[in-house]
Amino acid sequence: AQSVAQPEDQVNVAEGNPLTVKCTYSVSGNPYLFWYVQYPNRGLQFLLKYITGDNLVKGSYGFEAEFNKSQTSFHLKKPSALVSDSALYFCAVRDLLNRDDKIIFGKGTRLHILP
Amino acid sequence: DSGVTQTPKHLITATGQRVTLRCSPRSGDLSVYWYQQSLDQGLQFLIQYYNGEERAKGNILERFSAQQFPDLHSELNLSSLELGDSALYFCASSLNGGYTDTQYFGPGTRLTVL
């Protein structure tokens, strides 16, 4: 069965520093991977997705994520953090091989950008 | 703003009651998804509809049911409510309900069961 893990409940980064939010996954076949962000009292907003192709995916608000098949990871990154990036970030995965499987979301990582 | 609307924003009710949550998808989207977000369970997929028909089922309780109407809006019905049903309920929509579709989420309905 597929699974996704976000090993950090919270990440603190100083404004202007690079940020990384970690995500690892487990699937039987090839993964479809997604990152979503949730601001307070709002729904989830799509940031980016990896389906196939270039391992570096660029998304909204200056975010990017790198697909690493050997490490089964899909970490979210941004070169220079903004205070407005503070939010809850979710990684999600679907399994290409098992199409009956549903999208699975990680528990979320709360990102705090310190001014 | 994702274009997905959900009503009501907040709902407070008592155990044993029944409530209906409503969702209108983005213009042009044919598929609707329902999720439950709680502190202990995280974000859980409940059910998906495509063009009026059920397409996929997740961790949806038998006390819960949903449907998608001909105008593509969807309703999630929660009955015999328990304290543990208190959560944020999100609706999402996508263009074709396809496997790689991006889902666009509504703002959610916060349900409090007292």
Look at residue A91 and tell me whether its pLDDT is greater than 70: yes
Q: Which residue has the tokens 């819960």?
A: B64
For position A96, what pLDDT does the model report? 65
SS3 A4: strand
For position A27, what pLDDT does the model report? 86
- Which among B45, B102, B105 has the least Cβ separation from residue A43? B105
Best CA proximity match to A75, nearest among A60, A95, A89: A89
Work out the average pLDDT over A40-56. 90
B28-74 pLDDT per residue, tens: 999 999 999 987 778 899 999 999 999 888 889 999 999 999 999 99
Work out the average pLDDT over A88-97. 85
For position A100, what pLDDT does the model report? 60
Work out the average pLDDT over B86-109. 91
Up-side HSE of residue B60: CA atoms within 13 Å toward CB? 23
For position B27, what pLDDT does the model report? 95
| Res. A65 pLDDT band, cuts 50 70 90 | very high
- The more confident residue out of B1 and B111 is B111
- Which among B42, B90, B102 has the least Cβ separation from residue A107? B42
- The more confident residue out of A50 and B39 is A50
Cβ contact A46–B107 (<8 Å): no
Q: Which residue has the tokens 């990896």?
A: A50
Ranking A36-50, A90-104, B75-89, B95-109 by mean pLDDT, the lowest is A90-104
Calpha distance B97→A100 (Å, rounded): 13
Work out the average pLDDT over A69-91. 96
For position B17, what pLDDT does the model report? 97
Look at residue A30 and tell me whether its pLDDT is greater than 90: no
Question: Between A and B, how many CB-CB pairs are < 8 A?
Answer: 47
Residue type, A50: Y
For position A101, what pLDDT does the model report? 61
Mean pLDDT, chain A, whole residue set:
91
Q: Is B42 left (phi over 0), alpha (psi -120 to 50) or beta?
A: left
Sheet strands (E) in B1-114: 5-7, 10-13, 19-24, 31-38, 42-50, 53-57, 64-68, 74-78, 87-94, 104-105, 109-113
| Res. A99 pLDDT band, cuts 50 70 90 | low
For position B63, what pLDDT does the model report? 96
Under an 8 Å CB criterion, which residues of A touch B?
32, 34, 36, 41-46, 49, 51, 90, 94, 96, 99-100, 102-108
For position B75, what pLDDT does the model report? 98
For position B35, what pLDDT does the model report? 95
B73-90 pLDDT per residue, tens: 999 999 999 999 999 999
For position B14, what pLDDT does the model report? 97
Q: Is the peptide bond preceding residue B25 cis, with omega within 30 degrees of 0? A: no
For position B20, what pLDDT does the model report? 98
Task: Answer for the pair A5, A109: CB distance below 8 angstroms, yes or no.
Answer: no
Cβ contact B56–A34 (<8 Å): no
Task: Answer for the pair B35, B90: CB distance below 8 angstroms, yes or no.
Answer: yes
Tokens of A11: 């990440």
